[in-house]
Amino acid sequence: METKQNQHRLLIIAGILLGMGFAGFFDGIMLHQILQWHHMLTSVQPTTNIGNFEVNTFWDGLFNASTYAMTIAGLVLLWRAGLRGDFVGKSKTFGGALLVGAGAFNVIEGIINHHILGIHHVKSGPNELAWDIGFLILGALLVVVGGILWRDGGREIAPTEIKS
């Protein structure tokens, strides 16, 4: 017999993957394409000529493909959780998992790409460290708020559990 924790595992993993995918799409669409603050390799291949721009565009495409894969995986797991009835009465759990996933994506991507590899920064220039730290803080806040919702979701009562 499954424990209550394991019973909603698919829903939680789906939420985390979807949150990561959504955060990646936001990053790719807003920061790479619309605002054009950076591309995947801006710090090592500045987009000052067509060749470097093509390299960055290719790596942006791989980045987008990975966020697409996370989103598809999250949707598949959400579908499976729905078939099992896992999400009934668990909106806080799912919402919390979405925020944890989005925040975790920002923290992981920020630490690896901005600080360890240094392949790009949120916004290059005189205040790039402040932008990078702000990005990490935003990610950490999303994880904390998501964790609170996720924890509170454990107290939600599914409609089938309500006794009249």
Where is average pLDDT lowest: 3-7, 38-42, 103-107? 3-7
Quote the CA–CA distance of 61 and 136 in Å, as a whole number.
Answer: 23
CA terminus-to-terminus distance, the chain: 27
Cβ(87)–Cβ(81) below 8 Å = yes
**Residue 7 CA to its chain's centroid (Å):** 23
CA distances from 67 to 2, 53, 113 (A): 31, 21, 15
Confidence of residue 89 (pLDDT cuts 50, 70, 90): confident
Q: Mean pLDDT in the chain?
A: 91
Q: Tell which wins on pLDDT, 159 or 109.
A: 109
Q: What is the pTM of this model?
A: 0.88
What one-letter code names the amino acid at 16? I
Helix extents (H) in the chain: 4-7, 9-26, 50-84, 91-109, 128-153
Quote the CA–CA distance of 115 and 139 in Å, as a whole number.
Answer: 15
Range of 69's domain? Answer: 4-157
Q: What is the pLDDT of residue 1?
A: 43
Tokens 């595992």 -> residue: 9
Residue 4 has pLDDT above 80, yes or no: no
Confidence of residue 162 (pLDDT cuts 50, 70, 90): very low
Q: Is residue 119 part of a domain?
A: yes
Give the number of domains in the chain: 1
Q: Is residue 162 part of a domain?
A: no
Q: Is residue 131 part of a domain?
A: yes
- Each residue of 90-147: pLDDT tens digit? 899 999 999 999 999 999 999 999 999 999 999 999 999 999 999 999 999 999 999 9
Q: Is the dihedral of CA 110, 114, 120, 123 positive or negative?
A: positive
